Amino acid sequence: MIKITNEDNMELMARYEDNYFDLAIVDPPYGLDIAEKSDRLGKLKTKWASGGSFKHYKYSEWDKNTPTNEYWNELFRVSKNQIIWGWNFYDYNFPKTKCFLMWDKIGRDDRADGELAWTSFDKPAKVFRYSRADAYINHCDSKIHPTQKPVKLYEFCLSKYAKEGDKILDTHLGSGSIAIALDNMNKMEKMNLTLTACELDSDYFQTATKRINNATNWQSLF
């Protein structure tokens, strides 16, 4: 089952008891203000207004700030285990762990070669190698969000760290890649996973739900 809502993640988490979710996989804003600073995305305000070639991205201030301590405390309250992408950008005292993840983008430009995730698992650190070109340039994923993660990356996370029947939480749905990955794992591996997720931005929410519907034949649950 996939349940997705258009709401603030603090409101969503407040409805659930302690340790309700088996695993939270989250990718919060890194606080880089990417739409303003990136050479490519910094033109979005003009391009979006004029109907230019980047119209599928919406300029907003969603990446100006990182989550508050209240968010992190609530995330750890409602979930037993966590995978947190971009943990190195956050000013929070995460517990010590040996199980870091890295998405190696096999990059050949001046952008970051990879992204890091903190996890709560007592397992060896792992690297997932999947090129940016395979993910987006070759159209394996339809990119609808500036910081979109590939479906294959979420499949990797679910296959390595989720158990059959787990309840999964995502507090920043973004492009919806996690929902497509979860549906794939349920169909291919019979994992019987459920997903509860939310997205605050109404435009990204609508675009993500359309993408999920097209990929999975999912019937919306609000």
Is there a domain that residue 49 lies in? no
pTM higher than the cut 0.75? yes
Is there a domain that residue 42 lies in? no
Is there a domain that residue 199 lies in? yes
CATH number at residue 161: 3.40.50.150
C-alpha–C-alpha distance, residues 14 and 172, integer Å: 15
Q: In this predicted structure, what is the pLDDT of residue 217? A: 80
Q: In this predicted structure, what is the pLDDT of residue 65? A: 79
Q: In this predicted structure, what is the pLDDT of residue 93? A: 93
Percent composition of the chain: helix, strand, coil (DSSP 3-state, to 5)? 35, 20, 45
Q: In this predicted structure, what is the pLDDT of residue 112? A: 80
- Provide the edge-to-edge strand list for the sheet that holds 114-119: 2-5, 194-198, 167-170, 21-26, 79-85, 114-119, 100-104, 126-129
- pLDDT, tens digit, 9 for 90 and up, residues 88-98: 999 999 999 99
Q: In this predicted structure, what is the pLDDT of residue 63? A: 66
Is there a domain that residue 45 lies in? no
Both tokens of 199, joined, read 């997205």
Q: In this predicted structure, what is the pLDDT of residue 14? A: 98
**Number of domains the chain is built from:** 1
* Geometric angle at alpha carbon 173, from 187 and 63, rounded to 5°: 150
Both tokens of 207, joined, read 């675009």
Residue count (the chain)? 222
Is there a domain that residue 58 lies in? no
C-alpha–C-alpha distance, residues 45 and 8, integer Å: 24
- The pLDDT averaged over each successive group of 10 residues in the chain (222 residues) is 96 98 96 58 43 48 81 98 95 94 83 91 96 68 82 96 98 95 95 97 93 80 46
Is there a domain that residue 39 lies in? no
Q: In this predicted structure, what is the pLDDT of residue 95? A: 94
Of the candidates 20, 28, 27, which has an alpha carbon nearest to the alpha carbon of residue 166? 20
- pLDDT, tens digit, 9 for 90 and up, residues 140-166: 567 788 888 999 999 999 999 999 999
18 Cα distance to chain centroid: 22
> Domain range spanning residue 71?
2-30+66-216
Is there a domain that residue 221 lies in? no
Q: What is the 3-state secondary structure (H, E, C) of 13-78?
A: HHCCCCCCEEEEEECCCCCCCHHHHCCCHHHHHHHHHHCCCCCCCCCCCCCCCCCCHHHHHHHHHH
Which residue matches tokens 């995330």?
75
